[in-house]
Amino acid sequence: MDLIQLAGKNIVVMGVANERSIAWGVAKRLMEVGANVIFTYRKERSKGKIEKLLADYEAYKTAVVECDVNSDESIAKAFEEIGAAFGTIHGIVHSVAFAHAEDLKNRFVETTREGYAFAQDTSAYSLVAVSKAAKPYLSEDASIVTMSYLGADRVLDGYNVMGVAKAALEAAMRYLAADLGTDGIRVNAISAGAIRTLAAKGVPSFNQILNKIGETAPLKRNTNQEEVADMTIVMLSRLSRGVTGETIYVDSGYNIMG
């Protein structure tokens, strides 16, 4: 019995920059279970990286579409293109965030109005903007999953403006879940543990964070791309059909510790 039922489904995966990206882990798993994956990218460099990675997946139905989440025009164009090519969208993986490096390095009190707004726009409002543009194409059992981090709930050294953006992202996720639930659409967040990716490079003292989690987490180790990908598959699939508006931690249990 196929409990997942993602074969032949059209899933949009946003945020693959390279093979280390959390979104790439999800995309690999999605292709393995037979889903069609539509990748979106912001930079030409990422497009090249995605196309290179897809060289090993030629037998799969995929597409690569430009989408800068800071631009309503770019988002609208991307989803019109995806809608025209694929018709229905069954799921979206929103794995996108960005803040200015100085807003992570400086004292939090130094955060500028522009830096605050930029982090919110890219990392939190983008989930609303994407859901809105995708809405006409979403199936009546569609599932949207976004990636968050513990910095949404706790003050974590060096996470600063991004922690505030993740708090807004999780709240936006809940409001979207309440709103889109009337259409049968589910919206959830996965709060991933620390994983060494391009985005993580911007977080000062990342190595210390990894060490602390490895020592403190109930499982006494860090999580990885595969574990986050597997839970994302669950949240996209019918296995989680009774779950919406939740933040699911995939962090070796670190968040429960004092």
* Nearer CB in complex with ligand NAD: 7/171: 171
Site for ligand NAD in 135-154 (CB under 6 A): 147-149
Site for ligand NAD in 106-125 (CB under 6 A): 122
Residue 159 known to be catalytic: yes
Q: Is 21 in the site for ligand NAD (CB under 6 A)?
A: yes
CA nearest neighbour of 153 among 137, 179, 171: 171
Stretch of 54-62, 65-73, 100-108, 172-180 lying at the interface with ligand NAD (CB under 6 A): 65-73
Residue 39 · residue 11 · CB < 8 Å:
no
Backbone angles phi, psi at 116, to 5 degrees: -65, -50
What the block records as the tokens of 8 is 């032949």
Q: Is 232 in the site for ligand NAD (CB under 6 A)?
A: no
What the block records as the tokens of 185 is 């659409």
Give the nearest distance from C-beta 200 to ligand NAD in angstroms: 4
* Nearer CB in complex with ligand NAD: 7/207: 207
Residue 175 known to be catalytic: no
* Nearer CB in complex with ligand NAD: 8/207: 207
Q: Is 97 in the site for ligand NAD (CB under 6 A)?
A: yes
Q: Could you give the CA distance from residue 183 to residue 225 in angstroms, rounded to a whole number?
A: 31
Strands 138-148, 247-250: parallel, antiparallel or unpaired by DSSP?
A: unpaired
Residues 6 or more apart whose Cβ sits within 8 Å of residue 198: 17, 18, 20, 21
Q: Is 37 in the site for ligand NAD (CB under 6 A)?
A: no
Q: Is 127 in the site for ligand NAD (CB under 6 A)?
A: no
CA nearest neighbour of 54 among 30, 88, 70: 30
Q: Could you give the CA distance from residue 225 to residue 91 in angstroms, rounded to a whole number?
A: 19
Residue 42 · residue 126 · CB < 8 Å:
no
Catalytic residue among 41, 137, 159, 249: 159
Give percent helix, percent strand, percent coil of the chain, each to the nearest 5. Answer: 50, 15, 30
Q: Is 15 annotated as belonging to a binding site? A: yes
Q: Is 16 annotated as belonging to a binding site? A: no
Q: Applying CB under 6 A, which residues contact ligand NAD? A: 15-17, 21-23, 42, 46, 67-70, 95-98, 122, 147-149, 192, 194-195, 197-200
Residue ranges at the known binding site: 15, 21-22, 68-69, 96, 99, 166, 195-199
Q: Which residues are annotated as a binding site for NAD(+)?
A: 15, 21-22, 68-69, 96, 166, 195-199
Q: Hey, which residues are catalytic here?
A: 149, 159
